[in-house]
Amino acid sequence: MQFERKDILDMESLSAEEITFILDTADQLKEISRRPVKKVPTLRGKTVVLFFYEPSTRTRSSFEIASKRLSADSISISSSSSSMVKGETLIDTARNLEAMNPDVIVIRHPSAGAPHMLARLLKTSVINAGDGMHAHPTQALLDLMTVREKKGYIKGLRIAIIGDISHSRVARSDSIGFTKMGADVVLAGPLTMIPKGIESLGVTVAGNSDEAVKDADVIMMLRIQKERQKSFLYPSDREYSKVFGLNAERLKKAKKDVLIMHPGPINRGVEISSEVADGPYSIILDQVTNGVSVRMALLFILSA
Ligand code: CP
């Protein structure tokens, strides 16, 4: 197919056909990362700017590795090391970066909609690496890739997403992505962390975590995003872990071949026990591996 889109901003705007095209491209590019020399000249002469206003380990490093594996030049800018600390606006910063002719700008920003604003203003391709509580499309794409790789298909799978749904851009993007690809998504978490009207995304909300886990093909556990909560939304980590955490006992309710996922970073002993996170059903590190392939695919599709 011809991919006409300039930017990757959210899962809403991608069609099932476009998602399949991205996943197929990522599957093909994955082989490069297994070679003794993990580099191809495909994007030689292209420039990728990584513009991160929030902390990141996985997303930032995988975009950087993806750029290098395709021979693109990448530069990394954080808010504290940019002239934004001197009062320059996001728009002025982005316009100045564009004046240096990059091919792709990857942005993570605490404000929902910041990547969309840049995409409207700039001619350069923009990839959203996470905007506030809104969207994290590249995470959803790597999650879809990982489930499709492990199960062989996505349609009809029961995907349980459990935790701090309200503050999670991953929950939103995964819900939209998995639903669009034909999976049944069920959400669970404390009532204080389930946004009203979330069913409009095509998901169902379970009464408790046992109900969500029951017969699940995939369980995605989420961290409590304390940095985004304005007040305490649950009594204690210990209580949260007991009621909503995934441990070996609760896991018995899922299907025998269940896959355990987590976008990271993990808070061990809170939303997931170490026994489960490091256990035989966990594909958490496969998600990280596939993050490189998905980001290689997006850089290739947008800039080649
Ligand atoms: N999953 C994810 O976005 O991780 P980072 O915050 O480390 O990039």
> What is the tens place of the pLDDT at every residue in 124-137?
999 999 999 999 99
- Residue 225 sits at φ, ψ, to 5 deg, of -90, 75
**Element housing 284 (H / E):** helix 284-303
Give residue 110 CA to ligand 1 midpoint distance, Å: 13
Residue nearest to atom 6 of ligand 1 (CA): 56
26 C-alpha vs ligand 1 centroid, how far in Å? 19
Alpha helices in 196-283 (DSSP H): 209-213, 237-244, 248-251, 274-277
List beta partners, residue 127. 8, 106
What's the confidence (pLDDT) of residue 96? 96
Q: Is the peptide bond before 102 cis (omega within 30 degrees of 0)?
A: no
Phi, psi (deg, nearest 5) at residue 89:
-75, 165
Ligand 1 — pocket residues by CB below 6 A? Answer: 56-60, 130, 139, 263-265
Q: Is the pLDDT of residue 208 over 80?
A: yes
51, 53, 57, 294: residue to mutate for ligand 1 pocket, most atoms within 8 A of CB: 57
Q: For atom 3 of ligand 1, which residue has the closest CA?
A: 59
**How many angstroms is it from 114 CA to the middle of ligand 1?**
18
The whole-model pTM stands at: 0.96
- Cα angle 70, 16, 301 (rounded to 5 degrees) comes to 20
Instruction: Please write the tens of the pLDDT for every residue from 256-281.
Output: 999 999 999 999 999 999 999 999 99
Residue whose CA is closest, atom 4 of ligand 1? 58
Ligand 1 center–CA 9 separation, angstroms: 16
How far, in Å, from the CA of 57 to the mean position of ligand 1? 6
Confidence of residue 149 (pLDDT cuts 50, 70, 90): very high
Token couple for 10: 């959210």
235 pLDDT above the threshold of 80: no
Q: How far apart are CA 173 and CA 175, in angstroms?
A: 5
Q: Burial code of 69-89, b = ≥16 C-beta within 10 A, e = fewer?
A: bbebebebbbbeebebeeeee
Compute, in angstroms, the gap from residue 218 CA to the centroid of ligand 1.
20
Q: How far is CA 129 from CA 57, 61, 112, 132, 289, in A?
A: 12, 12, 11, 10, 17
Instruction: Tell me the mean pLDDT in the region 193-210.
Output: 96
DSSP string, 99-114: TT--SEEEEEESSTTH
Report angle CA 276, 31, 277 to the nearest 5 degrees.
5
Gap between the Cα atoms of 157 and 271, Å rounded: 22
Averaged pLDDT score across all residues of the chain? 95
Residue 6: name the closest of 279, 303, 251 by CA: 303
Residue nearest to atom 5 of ligand 1 (CA): 56
Pocket residue to mutate for ligand 1, from 58, 78, 168, most atoms within 8 A of Cβ: 58
In the prediction, which pLDDT does 131 show?
A: 98
Atom 1 in ligand 1: which residue has the minimum CA distance?
Answer: 263
Average pLDDT over residues 134-162: 98
Query: Taking CA 35 as the corner, what is the angle to CA 33 and CA 36, rounded to the nearest 5 degrees?
Result: 120
**From ligand 1's centre to the CA of 227, what distance in Å?**
14
Of all residues in the chain, the percent with pLDDT exceeding 70 is 99
Query: Over the stretch 30-70, which tens digit does the pLDDT of each residue have?
Result: 999 999 999 999 999 999 999 999 999 999 999 999 999 99
Atom nearest to 61 CA in ligand 1: 8
**Cα 170 to averaged position of ligand 1 atoms, centre (Å):** 10
Kindly state the tokens that stand for 46: 């292209």
Give the pLDDT confidence score for residue 23 in this predicted structure: 98
Q: Assign 203 to helix, strand or coil.
A: coil
